[in-house]
Amino acid sequence: VKAPEGTIVIFVLGGPGSGKGTQCNKIVKDFGFVHLSAGDLLREEQQNPNSKDGDLIKTYIKEGKIVPTEITVKLISKKMQESKSNIFLIDGFPRKLDQAECISGVTLVPMAFQHYRITTGADIWNLDSEVVEPHFILFLDCDKEVMKQRLLKRGETSGRIDDNIETIEKRFKVFEEESLPVIEYFGEKEKVHRIPCTESPDEVYLKIRPLLEGLNK
């Protein structure tokens, strides 16, 4: 599939275990987006022995809490800056309203050779540039009990410090209290595609794929 011209940002949101990572892998395979998973970037940073934020990130993830926005935004921004691509699939972000508001002020500055620099509001990279809004949001809407069973099963082998029943319950609570309002925020802008996702990964993807193909038209 030929990637459309111009910068495209798509957010993939949904509860813990709704299948964000699984569906993003399928999208990347077919459409070549650069996939940035907030959770993966934070876990990578946590394991980086040179990071000053490692211990703090670990504490938040273990508690199922949202890591301070500044840390997460910095990691995503850095990856976008380093990328030569201009089509981004951002998974698990924004996860609370301050992140959504922050990204609405995000600006991508076209650099030479299709390189982009990302700026947020009044921060140090603030340059004159064009504001980029997400094209749309994929909201993977899944039954809580289904998500819980998926995560408990994955927890048997994942080694993730947050795949245990106690933390899983906390992650659901945070999702309901802090992340659902983000979906409402974008819903008001008519940018949200709600995808029911209790069926198999392939069946869920059949509902997502046409939306991506629509970007080329």
Question: Could you list the residues that contact ligand AP5 (CB under 6 A)?
Answer: 14, 16-22, 38-39, 42, 60-61, 64-67, 72, 92-93, 95, 99, 150, 154, 162, 171, 197, 200-201, 204
Environment class of 131 (CB within 10 Å of its CB; exposed 0-12, middle 13-18, buried 19+): exposed
Taking CA atoms, 213 is separated from 19, 32, 68, 172, 177, in Å, by: 20, 12, 35, 32, 33
Nearer to ligand AP5, 195 or 212 (CB): 195
Map residue 196 onto helix, strand or coil: strand
Q: What angle do CA 115, 121, 123 make, to 5 degrees?
A: 80
Strands 87-91 and 116-120: unpaired
Nearer to ligand AP5, 72 or 77 (CB): 72
Q: From the CB of 13, what's the least distance to ligand AP5, in Å? A: 9
Nearer to ligand AP5, 72 or 107 (CB): 72
Q: From the CB of 181, what's the least distance to ligand AP5, in Å? A: 14
User: Are the CB atoms for 196 and 141 separated by under 8 Å?
Assistant: yes
Q: From the CB of 32, what's the least distance to ligand AP5, in Å? A: 19
Nearer to ligand AP5, 19 or 134 (CB): 19
Q: From the CB of 71, what's the least distance to ligand AP5, in Å? A: 8
